[in-house]
Structure 1
Amino acid sequence: MTIQNNLSSRAAENLTGSNVMLEGVIKANSDKFDFKANPNGIINLGVAENQLMTAELRDIFSSVDTADTKLFGYGESPSGSRLLRSHFANNVFNRYFKPVEPVMGEQMVLTAGCSATVDNFTFCVCDPGDGILITTPFYGGFNTDIMAKSKAKVVAVHLEGVNPFGLEQIQVMQEAVDNARLEGTRVRAFVLSNPHNPLGRTFSRELIIAFLRFASKNNIHILFDEIYALSVFDYALTGLAKEEQPDNNPFISVLSIPNIEQYCEKELVHVAYGMSKDFCLNGFRCGVLLSPWNNELLDAMRSIAVFTWMASTTEAMLTKLLGDPNIIEVFTKTNQARLAESYTYTVHTLREHNIPYLPAQGGHFIWIDLRQYIPSSLIGASQAGERTAEYLVWRAMLKEGVYVNLGEAFSERLVGFFRLSFSVPVPMLKLGLERMIKACQWASLSDNELNR
């Protein structure tokens, strides 16, 4: 009997594909840079992991007794304790998302990370083979979250030059739904990140309403991933970094849209959130599914919550952090100011080297265009969609000691785009950008050296 015959068909299917994003993360994390302990290690500018607030978090959590014997047992509920859900409702959603209707703790289910939230949501709204619509480029982790366990499909909508922040994309999305149905795929949901990952911008109120109308027209769920809601920093920018912002759209949560029932059946509207991004706690693994108007979905999520039960220690530490509105206010403002500082340094460096980019206003990253560094011998193939050149630049960066995430990981069809994460202290960012530019210049000269 072969090893593959020992596996279920769904597990075997997961072994046939590659996860470019996860492969890069593992490689970068296996040789982490440290100024003193490992100065030749890899500087990680590819993962959306905010390292700007570690000292503050250490101080906040220092008073939590992680050896308290009460934490050795199971927590109150696999869906999250009533107290922690209440803190999310009152000190996060009601305070910062400006909901028309106050959010309550019983309207949410907590999980061990936002990936688990999307996975459980997919399980609850999709049968195997059903589709979830996402416009490209999109956060590469959605592929795994949607497909690996629940066996739903990502219906990728390639906008092909259509403005991802404009109303014209709605027609392209409708065509994608219609084509999927003709091919036998039942589309069950539409997932979008606001602020956008990887493009780092927010959606206008007009476009959010258009998305809601689209979901209603097609009778599909719409999940707003708002995990970067408190990482919008454009208000803190100055000078050219401020002047180049293409619009003044603030972050607008779908929860703040008045009379939402005029645009979409309320039971179809949901929000995903978590602690990884705004609170810089990727390793704590805490996600939230907020569904204020769909008790049936919440009950379905609770029925499988035991598989994504948050650790008691994590819950205790998050309860400490979210229990004090003043701590949250100071933390988020400080974080936004530091993100603005790192972003400003990044765009100044990119301008200095004539590297095109899409100005960002939120999140931990910026979408950059490195096509000018594709070797001349590979330009034709790259324009035809062959990705050798993108991997060439990517490998050059890793060899030089910096990891930046390639466009393929975000289902971007155009070859040569990368997502650069700038949410690291400026001294590390400076060195990482120097290594990136050196690697790009090296890659542009010849691809022969890298392939020996």
Structure 2
Amino acid sequence: MTTQNKSPVLSQRAKTVSEATSSSLMWDIMNNPWHPSINPDGYVNVGVAENALMHEELLQFLNKELEMSAKYLTYNDGGGGSVKLRQAMCKFLNHHLHPLTPLEPDHIVVTNGVSTAIEHVSWAFADPGEGILLGRPYYGMFMQDISLRPGAKVVPVSFDDVDPFSLAAVDKYEKAILDFQQSTGKRVRGLMLCHPHNPLGRCYPRETIIKLMQLCQKYQVNLISDEIYALSVWENTVDQDPPPVKFESALSIDLRGIIDPGLVHVLWGMSKDFGANGIRIGAIISQFNESFHLAMKGISLYSYTSGISDHLISLLLEDFAYTDSYIKENQRRLAESYAYSVGVLKSQGIQYAPGCNAAFFLWVDLGKKYRELHPGVSEMTEVGEKVMQNLLQRKVFLATGALFGGEKDGWFRIVFSQPRDYLAEALGRIFAAVNDE
């Protein structure tokens, strides 16, 4: 078979993705992982949001439970997840997220991962060219999930020197709505909230969420709260400024007098809280929007989860004794890994965004340190790209702030949810890269 880069058989959108993919290093990096003895020349990857701290414990549970009936070799109960899985999710999330209105199976659409869930809500709420708000900095793949196939337009929200978690930040969202509508003549249809936040590792205060809901009500915008890190909240013992905020799900808020309940939707999945990206289980929770659920039934064939994943996760979520213990230990390890990473960064004089208590990220200013070590660099020069080149030469991968909509040059996201020896190797390579010319 002959392959041509300019193949006329591809649609324009496929050509665009093909060209972008050809220049992406991501899969090359993921297919060449570092190992101290087997592959010492591979990449140390602290750029992908994976939690490897509890893999052995989860495997011990899953490997002993893999016994299925023939039902899981069929289409089972449909593309939105088996009744058994949705019932298990309801009980589990009612236990942990404390929704004001208890969840029922019909409130949940199961998808093959939260990326698919994001794409589904973008497709359902926004026509091509219409907007979905996204505060900066943001999880980099939100851009593709929201816009690549659904055709919605991401509307980045800049905060300047305003704390993005504060009440004052809501005014920035409103400005973005008005600017977008004025410049395009199209409406904003959604506000995507990453709560807890990726990459800043903080939770939104309840009062900020309520004010955002009121804004959404004013402009009839869907509030989509991506709570994929909801149970990865831990105690920060090393820095308290800004003071860490307790996580409270959007589901736990009394919506009366605030927002039409049909405009509120929550996303959750197994990838982060259970360190199981490969399981491919996500969920869209919408308690008061029947039309949305009918639309999801129509496209659920395209996001079917594996029968094996459906079965195993049903059993896992039903076992409260195991999951309570797992979550508690995971939170302890995340806190410990954060404290270790912060200590090493401080020893090297590298600035980071403090006050984290959720997820597994450090938002770090490697550009500032690079300038300090290389005083000949002009203040007008953007150094983020140069630091990224150095990092790749040192065979360490982390996410650049430029891809996350960072408002200032030189910031990067480090994923600290890795075993200690792996993390130490990564940090050592990062410091060496910053020292390189």
Q: TM-score, normalised by structure 2?
A: 0.94
- CA drift of 1:7 comes to 2.1
| 5+ long unaligned stretches in structure 1 | 447-452
Q: Which moved more, 1:390-399 or 1:425-434?
A: 390-399
Please state if 1:14 is matched with 2:43.
no
Q: Which moved more, 1:299-308 or 1:28-37?
A: 28-37
Q: Which residue of structure 1 aligns with residue 186 of structure 2?
A: 185
One-letter amino acid of the structure 2 residue matched with residue 6 of structure 1: V
- 1:99-119 CA distances to partner (integer Å, 9 max, x unpaired)? 111111110100011010010
Q: How does 1:138-217 map to 2 (within 5 A)?
A: 138-183=138-183, 184-217=185-218
Please state if 1:315 is matched with 2:310.
yes
Q: Which residue of structure 1 aligns with residue 245 of structure 2?
A: 249
Q: Which residue of structure 2 aligns with residue 109 of structure 1?
A: 109
One-letter amino acid of the structure 2 residue matched with residue 373 of structure 1: Y
Partner residue of 2:8 out of 5, 14, 32: 5
Please state if 1:270 is matched with 2:265.
yes
Q: Distance in 1 between matches of 2:20 and 2:376?
A: 29
- CA drift of 1:435 comes to 1.2
- CA drift of 1:67 comes to 7.5
Q: Which residue of structure 2 aligns with residue 438 of structure 1?
A: 432
Q: How does 1:298-377 map to 2 (within 5 A)?
A: 298-359=293-354, 360-371=356-367, 372-374=369-371, 375-376=374-375
One-letter amino acid of the structure 1 residue matched with residue 111 of structure 2: T
Q: Distance in 1 between matches of 2:20 and 2:216?
A: 30
Please state if 1:282 is matched with 2:285.
no
CA gap of 1:339–1:120, structure 2 versus 1, over 3 A, is same
Q: Which residue of structure 1 aligns with residue 413 of structure 2?
A: 419
- CA drift of 1:14 comes to 3.4
One-letter amino acid of the structure 2 residue matched with residue 249 of structure 1: V
8 Å contact from structure 1 (residues 66, 313) kept in 2: no
CA gap of 1:153–1:144, structure 2 versus 1, over 3 A, is same
8 Å contact from structure 2 (residues 68, 311) kept in 1: no
- CA drift of 1:401 comes to 2.5
8 Å contact from structure 1 (residues 64, 316) kept in 2: no
Q: Distance in 1 between matches of 2:57 and 2:212?
A: 38
One-letter amino acid of the structure 1 residue matched with residue 313 of structure 2: L
8 Å contact from structure 2 (residues 267, 283) kept in 1: yes
8 Å contact from structure 2 (residues 396, 429) kept in 1: yes
Give 3-state SS (helix, strand or coil) of 1:398's partner: helix
- CA drift of 1:11 comes to 2.5
Give 3-state SS (helix, strand or coil) of 1:380's partner: coil
| 5+ long unaligned stretches in structure 2 | none
Give 3-state SS (helix, strand or coil) of 2:362's partner: strand
CA gap of 1:4–1:160, structure 2 versus 1, over 3 A, is farther
Q: Distance in 2 between matches of 1:410 and 1:275?
A: 23
8 Å contact from structure 2 (residues 244, 357) kept in 1: no
8 Å contact from structure 2 (residues 337, 420) kept in 1: yes
Q: Which residue of structure 2 aligns with residue 223 of structure 1?
A: 224
CA gap of 1:412–1:252, structure 2 versus 1, over 3 A, is same
Q: Which residue of structure 1 aligns with residue 28 of structure 2?
A: 27
Partner residue of 1:404 out of 398, 403, 414: 398
Please state if 1:46 is matched with 2:47.
yes
- 1:167-215 CA distances to partner (integer Å, 9 max, x unpaired)? 1111121111111111223210000101111100001111011110110
- CA drift of 1:2 comes to 8.5
CA RMSD in angstroms, aligned pairs only: 1.9
Q: Which residue of structure 1 aligns with residue 388 of structure 2?
A: 394
Q: Distance in 2 between matches of 1:353 and 1:404?
A: 18
8 Å contact from structure 1 (residues 24, 403) kept in 2: no
- CA drift of 1:44 comes to 1.1
Q: Distance in 2 between matches of 1:341 and 1:278?
A: 16
- 1:63-99 CA distances to partner (integer Å, 9 max, x unpaired)? 23367654333332100001111111111x2111111
8 Å contact from structure 1 (residues 134, 190) kept in 2: yes
One-letter amino acid of the structure 2 residue matched with residue 257 of structure 1: I
Give 3-state SS (helix, strand or coil) of 2:345's partner: helix
CA gap of 1:27–1:17, structure 2 versus 1, over 3 A, is closer
CA gap of 1:351–1:295, structure 2 versus 1, over 3 A, is same
Q: Distance in 2 between matches of 1:99 and 1:426?
A: 36
Q: TM-score, normalised by structure 1?
A: 0.91
The percent identity for this pair of structures is 33
CA gap of 1:248–1:419, structure 2 versus 1, over 3 A, is closer
> Between Structure 1 and Structure 2, which shows a larger proportion of helix residues?
1
CA gap of 1:19–1:353, structure 2 versus 1, over 3 A, is farther
Q: Distance in 2 between matches of 1:347 and 1:293?
A: 42
- CA drift of 1:257 comes to 1.1
8 Å contact from structure 1 (residues 25, 47) kept in 2: no
- CA drift of 1:269 comes to 0.4
Q: Distance in 2 between matches of 1:352 and 1:301?
A: 50
Q: Distance in 2 between matches of 1:177 and 1:62?
A: 49
